[in-house]
């Protein structure tokens, strides 16, 4: 990852866009940016992680489209890919004062309410963002589904998933994949996990942040980065916003996307504990969401 920047350089990056206030480093919850902030402005500088530059470019077009549509997200003040001061793109954002949902402790009721609000905001995103100018092709383009059998085999071979659960998940993914094609793609955030959601100390939703994976995709994919146990709350919020229940095909695509995302996550992070029973139970109860 890119080393911490020299203080004089950080000051110069702020100053280029007329920001002269005192700044301080902020802890980053991801690997794609170094973050610094004044009381009113946040500076994000892409790192040399493979996702750093692509994500910075993606959010430079995605976040303004979401903000213009009235979605809760910080306003982009400036995006600079000139490399005149630093050999990385950087951006300045209006600061939202709060904490990430993944960084605060809430009661079960407040946590469920917070995720319900996230679901409602995602429904608004999917409905309200109908255009996003992207002349340079920065938005993410969804690819084919990964090879579920390979993920499962890798986890079984590593002793992290029992063969019976793997067989059940494989059959379920196959069945869920028969739900049919996506009727309409929508504008999606692409990475709605707990560290990309800003709340106040009581769990009131303030903003969706980090739009580096945004693009036009199946709206159900926006549930795939959420913890298993909060998806029902998020779905309930989503359904309240759209005024109807998700149909069976949408729920099937949601669950399949979540299972594949989880398998990919645990293959990439062998140090993390995989609860195969929880994943299997989630799949088995998908129709009750």
Domain hosting residue 258, numbered range: 100-288
Last residue of a domain, one of 75, 95, 115: 95
- Does some domain include residue 1? no
- Does some domain include residue 2? no
Q: Give the total number of structural domains in the chain.
A: 2
* Per-residue DSSP letter, 142: -
Specify whether 79 is located in the same domain as 105.
no
The residues facing 99 across adjacent strands are 199
The pLDDT tens digits along the chain (289 residues) read 456 799 999 999 999 999 999 999 998 777 899 999 999 999 999 999 999 999 999 999 999 999 999 999 999 999 999 999 999 999 999 999 999 999 999 999 999 999 999 999 999 999 999 999 999 999 999 877 778 999 999 999 999 999 999 999 999 888 888 766 777 899 999 999 999 999 999 999 999 999 999 999 999 999 999 999 999 999 999 999 999 999 988 999 999 999 999 999 999 999 999 999 999 999 988 655 5
**CA gap 125, 138 in Å, rounded:** 19
**Number of Cβ atoms within 10 Å of the Cβ of 49:** 15
Distances from the Cα of 76 to the Cαs of 15, 125, 129, 246, in angstroms? 16, 17, 16, 33
- Does some domain include residue 84? yes
Specify whether 79 is located in the same domain as 146.
no
At 155, which CATH number? 3.90.1200.10
**Number of Cβ atoms within 10 Å of the Cβ of 259:** 25
Helices (H), ranges, 131-243: 148-157, 163-176, 231-242
Cβ(183)–Cβ(83) below 8 Å: no
CA angle 24, 27, 30 (to 5 degrees): 135
**CA gap 133, 153 in Å, rounded:** 41
* Per-residue DSSP letter, 140: B
Helix (H) or strand (E) holding 90: strand 90-94
Specify whether 182 is located in the same domain as 84.
no
């Amino acid at each position: 990852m890119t080393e911490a920047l020299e203080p004089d350089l950080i000051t110069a990056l702020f100053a280029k866009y007329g920001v002269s206030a005192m700044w301080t480093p902020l802890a980053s919850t991801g690997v794609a940016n170094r973050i610094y902030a004044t009381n009113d402005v946040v500076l994000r500088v892409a790192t040399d992680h493979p996702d750093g530059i692509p994500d910075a470019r993606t959010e430079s077009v995605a976040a303004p489209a979401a903000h213009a549509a009235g979605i809760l997200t910080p306003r982009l003040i400036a995006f600079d890919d000139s490399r005149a001061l630093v050999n990385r793109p950087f951006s300045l954002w209006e600061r939202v004062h709060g904490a990430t949902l993944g960084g605060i402790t809430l009661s079960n009721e407040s946590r469920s309410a917070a995720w319900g609000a996230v679901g409602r905001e995602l429904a608004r995103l999917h409905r309200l963002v109908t255009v996003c100018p992207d002349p340079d092709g920065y938005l993410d383009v969804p690819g084919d589904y990964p090879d579920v059998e390979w993920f499962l085999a890798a986890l079984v071979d590593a002793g992290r998933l029992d063969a019976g659960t793997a067989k059940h998940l494989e059959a379920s993914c196959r069945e869920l994949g028969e739900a049919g094609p996506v009727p309409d793609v929508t504008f999606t955030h692409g990475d709605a996990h707990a560290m990309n959601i800003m709340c106040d100390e009581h769990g009131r939703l303030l903003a969706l942040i980090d739009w580096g994976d945004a693009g036009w995709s199946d709206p159900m994919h926006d549930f795939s980065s959420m913890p298993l146990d909060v998806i029902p709350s998020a779905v309930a919020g989503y359904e309240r916003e759209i005024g109807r229940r998700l149909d069976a095909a949408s729920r099937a695509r949601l669950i399949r996307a979540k299972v594949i995302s989880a398998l990919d996550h645990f293959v990439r992070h062998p140090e993390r504990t995989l609860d195969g029973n929880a994943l299997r139970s989630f799949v088995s109860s998908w129709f009750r969401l």
